[in-house]
Structure formats: structure tokens, C-alpha cells
Structure 1
Amino acid sequence: MVDAILNRFYKPSKFKKNGDVKDVLVVALPMLLSMSFDTFMTFIDRLFLSKLGPAEMNAALGAGAVQLALTMFFTGAISYTTAMVAQRLGGKKRWDCARVFMQSVYLSLISVPLLYLTIPLGHFAFGLEHLPADQLEYQKTYFNILMFGGVINLLRNAAPCFFSGIGETKVVMKAAFAGMIVNVACNFVLIYGYGPIPAMGVAGAAYGTLIGNVVSTVILFAKFFSNSCHRRFRTRFAFAFSWPLTRELLKKGIPSGVEMFLNMAAFQSLILMFHALGPEAATASSIMFNWDLVAYVPLMGLEVASTSLVGRYVGAKNAAAATRSTYSGLKLGWGYSLVMGIFFIFLPGVLTDIFKPDVAEATESALAIFNAARPMSMFMLRIATFYIFVEVLLVIYAGALRGAGDTVWVMFACGIMNWFVAIALYIVAYVFHLPAHYAWIVVVAVYSTAPLIFWRRWKSGKWRRHVMNAK
């Protein structure tokens, strides 16, 4: 009854839109920018570390990937909060939006001890790489700090779900921007040292990341409990635990968590295998993957927008608008990838040289490793151009299917695809002993077949059954 009264007097214009490009852009652009800020934050970490030497940069990439893989199950499960919030908003159950979000916060806190139990698995994975002693030490340091700050990382990933679900992504963008500024400043001071603060190197990069995440998380929670949000969603009355909402979040979110864990574990396997091919291959692949991160992570903003809009239209039982929003997301994604592709094709040398070690700081061997890896890195960047166009199809269709509630199928499809790619790399690099840059060609070729599967799933219309069953 109260919901009906609230909906009568509060009708945002966003609900009158129908999934066209403008509709998607309202949600996607702030999310794309916020993801870009997160990417820039990570990119700067590794750029600063690269000036110390390839070992520090490679350690940050390797440790960061393992940390993401171990955290991804929990953050992936919690991320389904976006779709649940969007479905309630579309179904005009506005006050349930805040209650759904609070259940995700409780799950985040409960997950922290479980996350700590996975730390030995990370150390075991590092042992499989047969890394140089200095890189292994740096890698463990970076990894341990990020993992023990797990509560910050989990809440940092849960906090934007409410706002992306209701389609008000500008606040997420602003929080990410503030976190980025703090992170960059802290990284510079903590990595290199300034005044009374000693140079901490890799450890400083990890602490800077956590500090930036704290800032953005505090901003989002402050907005959630603000007067404006409370008037619309009763956020200050949403603290009660709800087993039905938690059960739904676990039922639909766990497949997403498993999927994202399998995806990150497969990606980490790629990094492990490239790094095990030697310091030149490790450096070349690290540079390529750092730039791939710049190209890919902003696309995740489009994925979140696709999940949010499709979830909203599923809640409103409007399958036609859900389909339009998906195709609109594809148009925007390809436009972005075209810009990135131009840089990858025509400026690979410039992109590679950004990571060149500082002559005054790095050792002679570090400079020799970089110079040997430079041609390979340029080659891999050019091949990655095709890779980023393929990623657009994957993120948009995967986001749309998640928003429609088709999370189990997405879990199996993504898991099988990514591990098939990892197996292909192993066969090419370790069975046939081809060089790293040729192995990368095979990885991209195999990966490029996956969008056909997701496209066929979407075209089959099986996700529409969730429209009929929307709450």
C-alpha cells in the first residue's frame, strides 16, 4: 500500500524510456567512467612500480590477478544485487531495493573469514610459477596486504550495486573518481617515499589501493543513508535481516560468483603460463595485459548497465525494451573499442615504452629484459585489437542474460570458454613449444569463437521465461 502511494508521487523520467542508446547511455556512461577510474588506479600502481623494474611490475600483475581470482566468487555472488534491485525497481517494489542491498552487505561481512582461509591457496599458486626470488617476494607482499584488507574490497564491490540497480550511476562515478585521486596520491608517496614517509615499493602500492577503496566506499554508504535516498527507499529502516531475499540472492548470485571465479582462475592461469616462459615473455605479457585492462574494465561499466536495464525491464515484463537495450549496449561498446583499437594498432611502441624502467632506478639486467621484451609486447598489442572487439559481445550478452536471471547458463558457458582458452595456451606453449607471441595469437583465435554461443543463447529467447516469472 505504501509502495503504491510512493510510486504515484515519485515517477522518475528514466522509467519512460525504452532501451534505446540514450537510455543505455544514462546508466552506462557514469559506470563506464567509474570503471575507467578504477582501471586508471590499477594502471598507475603498475606504472609507478615499473619504474623500479620489471620484477615489481610483474609481481603486482601476478599477485593482483590471484587476489581477484580468490575474491571473485564472493564479489560475483554479491554483484547479483544489481539485478535484484533493478527487478524490484521495475516491479514498483521500491522499498525492497534497500533491503536487498543490506542483505548483500551482511553477506560481504560474513564472507571475510572465508576469504582469509584462501590465502594459502594464493601462496601455493605462486609456487607453481617458478618465479625469480625477488619477484616472488614482491608478489607475496602485495598479495598478503590486499587479502588482509578483504573486508574493504568486499564492501567496495557491494556498495555500487544499489545505485547501479536503480540506474543512478553518477554517484558511483563520483565515488570512484575520489578514490582514484586519493589512490594515486598515496601510491606516489608510499611507493617512492616523501619527507618522513619511507619508500615502501610494492607494499606502498597495495596500501594505496586499500586507502583509495576506503574513500570511495565511505562516499557510497554516506549517499545510501542520506536524506534523499531515505525518503525514496527507506534506507535507514532496511537493517532487518530477510531470509527470503538472502536466499534469492544466494540462489541467483552463487552461479555468478562461481562463473567469475572460474573466469579469473582461467585468466590467472594464462598469466602463470606466460610468466613461466621466462622474464621476457613475462614482461611482454604484463605490458599487454595492463593495456588490455585499460580497454576491458570500462566495458564492464556497459555490462553493469546491461544487467541493470535488462533486470529493470524484466521486472516490468517488457521483453522488447530489454532486447533494445542490449543492442544499444553493443553499439556503444563497439564505438569505444574502435577508439582503443586505433591506439593498439598504430601506437604499440608508445604504449610499450610507457612501462620502460627508469634508468636511474632500474638495474642493467632489468633494462636488458625490457629491451628484449619490447618487440614481443608491440606484436601482442596489435593482436589484442581484435580481442577487445570480441570482448564487447561477451560483456553485453553476459550482462543482459544475468539481468534476465539466466545466471546458471552464463556460469557454465563462461567457465567452459575461459578454461578452453587456457588449455589451448598450454598446448601451444608447452606441448608444441611455440614462442609467447604466437601462443597469444592462438588464445585470441580460440576466444573469438565464444560470442557466437552467447549470441545464439540470446536469440533463442529462453531468457524470456524469466520475464513471465518476474516478481
Structure 2
Amino acid sequence: MFQQYTKEFRYNVKLSVPVIMGMLGHTFVQLADNIMVGQLGTAELAAVSLGNSFVFIAMSLGIGFSTAITPLVAEADGAKNKADGKSALKHGLILCTVLSLALFGIILLAKPLMYSMEQPPEVVELALPYLDLVAFSLVPLIVFQAFKQFSEGLSQTKYPMYATVIANVVNIVLNYILIFGSFGFPKMGIVGAAIGTLASRFIMVGYLWYLLKRKNKFRDYVTGFNFNKIEKNVIRKIINLGFPSALQMFFEVAIFTAAIWLSGVLGKNAQAANQIALNLSSMTFMFGMGLGVAAMIRVGNQKGLRNFPELRRIGQSIFLLTFLLEIVFAVLFLLGRNWFPTLYLDVNDVANIADNSMVITLAAELLLVAAFFQISDGIQVVVLGALRGLQDVKIPTLITFIAYWGIGFPVSYYLGLHTHFKSTGIWIGLLIGLTASAIMLYLRFDYLTKKLIRA
């Protein structure tokens, strides 16, 4: 019985590994920033967390919107329709560029909100100049996403990975030079980390376009755009897919951002601990995201072929693979929860030993909860990918809103601010919201695929 699912594992892994590596690259930028900034102190680490919380919300909308390109390109590829694939990329690039500039402007307008969020004053002062530069880096990042989603729609997942690896090398080198003032450069602290992020993202989009343009099979897709000819029906189709997808990602990222803000109300140590646990969880989440992209591509291909029994079997094979992988991550978090936080702080810093010890203890408690929500988080993002492959986005958007904001956030708010659970209570709310999302989304996939097969 299981063999009909496990025989797909090899191809699913082959397709998803480059995506996972690329996704991890985005997270690794944050990991490098956090580890290097953590050496400066807990206030600096909390400031990066607060600044990124604004950027993550905007990034979720941009990345979520760009995912509309993948199922359209995958369906066109399955139907051998090259013109539709190029049209999806061209119109997707236009919309992603406009959206990225709008999101940058909104973040700049939202900066004064930091002063009214009950965050530690020293953290806000550090976060503001960092935010300006990282917010602008959204423009190249979201344009990169358009090219990335197109490449993945053609089942070519390795090229975005190459671009992300190059960007990470640039980011780490610039971080080292600019944060600490190495090799004669000025010591810029967390602003240096922001410059590294901005430069690496411009290099990332430029390098990916260069890679695609050099390959014969992509050249016709990524060159010779006629931007004077805009097709309203294609724009409408991308918006109809992209806007709900953006909201789905926004609802999830926003609840994690709310966890950052709630932690800030509890103090800078709680916020720093939350940032450590969130960064580690984000790294394992990228495996689920990568498998979700594989589900979106493969389900999109089968939709183009109109082979619905195969579509359902392939989708369920990816769900099973994700479930097994997330159990491994849960065990790792349980075993390493006391050691992982020590990677982010200077445990030998005598001046900050009390703060650092408290952050490590709090982070270990959060990782205990995070171990359990690995499974729910992985399953829900992979089923969401399969539903996007089916181009079913409206009902899943409602499901994610109910799960995260109707169920998860009220529990996080109550347990975090009104009980002795505090930070741990915030994360218990996240666990409950993610579990509700995973269950409801799977029921939606089960219902839709059975209906398609019957029809």
C-alpha cells in the first residue's frame, strides 16, 4: 500500500532539494545576521528582530503573490504551451515590481508605529536605521521571486539555488567587514548587517537573470519582452491567484510577527529568545516550503494533463514524505533545545552573563513547543502548495485566516500576557493555530481531489 506513495520519494526529493537550499539561503541571511549581531548584545539582537518583523510582513505579501506564477507556468509546461509560460512571467514581473515598490513605501510610512508598540526604547532606536535599508532590499528580493517562481514552474529548481548561494557568500563577507569594522572599514553594527542584506539581494536577482538568459531553453522566455502589450486577462488571472496566496502567507507570517511584538511587551530578553527560536524554526520550515513548491509543480503538471487520480496520489506521497521528515526535525529540537541557543550569544561575555543566561533558558523552553509544531507547520505548508497547484486559493485563504487569527492568536495573546506561561504561552498558541490549519487544509485537498476524480 505504502509503495504507491514511497516510490515517488526519490523524484520529490530531487525536485525539492534545490528549492529547499534556496529557501534556506533566505533564512541563512537572517541566521548570519542574528549570530553576528548577537555578539554585540541582546538589545541589538532584539532590534534586528523588531526591524525584520515589519519586513517579514511585507515580504510575505510579495513572496506569496509571486507564487501565482508557478502553477500558471507549470500548467502551460504540462500542456506544452510556451507562449502562455512567457506571458505569465512577463505579467508577473510587472506586478511584482509594482508591488515591491508599494510595500517599501508602506514600511517607511509605518515606521512611527514602533514608538507606540510598547517596545523597549533602546531597541526601537537601534531598529529604525536598520529598517530603512532592509525595507529597500524587498525590491530586488520580490523581483528575484518572480524569476524564481517561473524557473520552478518549469521544474528547473537548481538555478535559483545557485543565485541564493552566491548572495549568501556576499552577505556573510559584508556582514563580517561592516558589523565589526574589519579590514579598515568603519564599525557599523546592525546597519552594517542591513547593507550586507541589501547588496546580496541585488546580486541575487542579477545573477539569476544572467543564468537564465545564458541557457537556450530559457532565453526565449526571459528576453524580448514587449512591455507595451499588456493583456488584462493575464493580469487578472495572476491577481486572482496571487492576492489570495499573498494573504495566506501574510496570515501565517503576521501571527509569527505578532509573537515577536507580544514578546517585546514581555521585555528584551523574551524578544531575543523568541528571535532565536523563530530563526531555528524558520530553517526547518524551509524544508516544508520546498516540498510545498514540489507539490505545487507536480500537481500543476497533472492538472494540465487532467490526470486527477495521479494528481491525488502524487500529492499524498509528498504529504507522507513531509510528515516523516518533520518527525526527524521534532526529535532534533527536543534533543538540542538547550544547546542551539548558545550558538547565538557570547556565553563568555561576563558583562551580559545574566541576560544571556536568561535568553538561553527561555529559548530552550520555546524550542520544546517548536519541536511539536514542526509537524503541523510542515504539513500545512505542503498541502497549501498542492492546493495552489490546483489553483484553489480562495477557500484555503479563509481556512488560514480562521486557523491563525480565529484560533491561534487569541490563545497566544491570553496565555502570553495573562498567565504564568508568558513566552511559552505565545508559542502554544502558534502550535494550536498551525495544527488547525493543517487539518482543515488537508480536508479541503481530500474533498477537491475526490470530486475531480468522480467528475
- TM-score (structure 2 length as normaliser): 0.92
* 2:375 aligned partner: 389
Distance change (3 Å), C-alpha of 1:463 and 1:38:
farther
The alpha-carbon deviation at position 26 of structure 1 amounts to: 2.6
Residues 373-408 of structure 1 show CA distances to partners (whole Å, capped at 9, x for unaligned) of: 322221221221111011121011100001101111
Q: Is the 8 A contact 2:60 2:246 kept in 1?
A: yes
What is the match of residue 283 of structure 1?
Answer: 272
Aligned residues: 448
CA separation in 2, counterparts of 1:435 and 1:77?
34
Moved over 4 A (4+): 462-468
Q: Is the 8 A contact 2:309 2:453 kept in 1?
A: no
Unaligned runs of at least 5 residues, structure 1 = 1-17
Whole-angstrom distance in 1 between the partners of 2:235 and 2:253: 25
> Do the aligned partners of 1:303 and 1:396 also contact (CA within 8 Å) in 2?
yes
SS at the partner of 1:449? Answer: helix
Q: 1:296 aligns with which of 273, 280, 285?
A: 285
Q: Secondary structure at the match of 2:184?
A: coil
Q: Provide the residue aligned with 1:422 in structure 2.
A: 409
Alpha-carbon deviation of 1:227?
Answer: 4.5
In the alignment, the residues of structure 2 paired with residue 438 and residue 237 of structure 1 have an alpha-carbon distance, to the nearest angstrom, of 54
Q: How does 1:255-334 map to 2 (within 5 A)?
A: 255-334=244-323
Listed one character per residue, the Cα deviations across residues 315-372 of structure 1 (whole Å, up to 9, x for unaligned) are: 1111122222222222332343233223211121210111123656xx82x4321212
From 161, 170, 173, the counterpart of 2:149: 161
SS in 2 for 1:349: coil
Q: Which residue of 2 aligns with 1:345?
A: 334
Query: Structure 2 counterpart of 1:41, which letter?
Result: V
| Equivalent in the alignment of 1:243 | 232
Q: Which residue type is aligned with residue 60 of structure 2?
A: M
> Does the aligned pair in 1 maintain the 2:141–2:205 contact within 8 Å?
no
Deviation at 1:19, TM superposition (A): 8.8
Which position in structure 1 is the counterpart of 2:3?
none
In structure 1, C-alpha distance between the alignment counterparts of 2:283 and 2:167, rounded to whole Å? 17
Q: Is the 8 A contact 2:256 2:430 kept in 1?
A: no
Per-residue deviation, 1:131: 2.1
1:30 aligns with 2:18: yes
- Paired with 2:242 and 2:448, the residues of 1 have a C-alpha distance of 21
Deviations 1:173-200, CA, capped at 9 Å, x for gaps: 1111111111111111111112231111
CA distance in 1 between counterparts of 2:214 and 2:93 reads: 17
Q: 1:52 aligns with which of 40, 52, 73?
A: 40
- C-alpha separation in 2, matches of 1:35 and 1:392: 14
Q: Distance in 2 between matches of 1:181 and 1:85?
A: 30
Contact kept in structure 1, 2:412 and 2:428, CA below 8 Å: no
Does the CA-based 8 Å contact 1:326-1:400 persist in structure 2? yes
Task: Give a deviation string over 1:55-97, Cα, whole Å, max 9, x none.
Answer: 1112212211211202332332222101111111112112321
Cα RMSD (Å):
2.4
1:191 corresponds, among 150, 175, 179, to 179
Of 425, 438, 447, 1:451 maps to 438
* Aligned equivalents of 2:157, 2:65: Cα separation in 1: 20
Q: Could you tell me how far 1:443 is from its partner in structure 2?
A: 3.5
Determine which of 207, 213, 233 is the counterpart of 1:219: 207
Letter in 2 for 1:73: L
What SS does structure 2 have at the residue aligned with 1:237?
coil
Shift of 1:31: 0.7
CA contact (8 A) 1:191 1:204 kept: yes
Hey, what does 1:151 align to over in structure 2?
A: 139
- 1:422 partner letter: F
Residues 406 and 463 of structure 1 are in contact (CA less than 8 Å); yes or no, is this contact kept in structure 2?
no
Identity of aligned residues (%): 22
Cα distance in 2, alignment partners of residues 219 and 429 from structure 1:
44
| 2:75 aligned residue (87, 90, 96) | 87
Aligned counterpart, 2:164: 176
Q: Could you report, residue by residue, the CA deviation over 1:272-330 in whole angstroms, capped at 9, with x for unpaired residues?
A: 00121122322221221111111112321111111111111111111122222222222
Distance 1:159 1:19 in 2: 31
Query: By how many angstroms is 1:430 displaced?
Result: 2.5
What letter corresponds to residue 153 of structure 2 in structure 1?
G
Q: Secondary structure at the match of 1:461?
A: helix
Distance 1:234 1:70, change over 3 A: closer
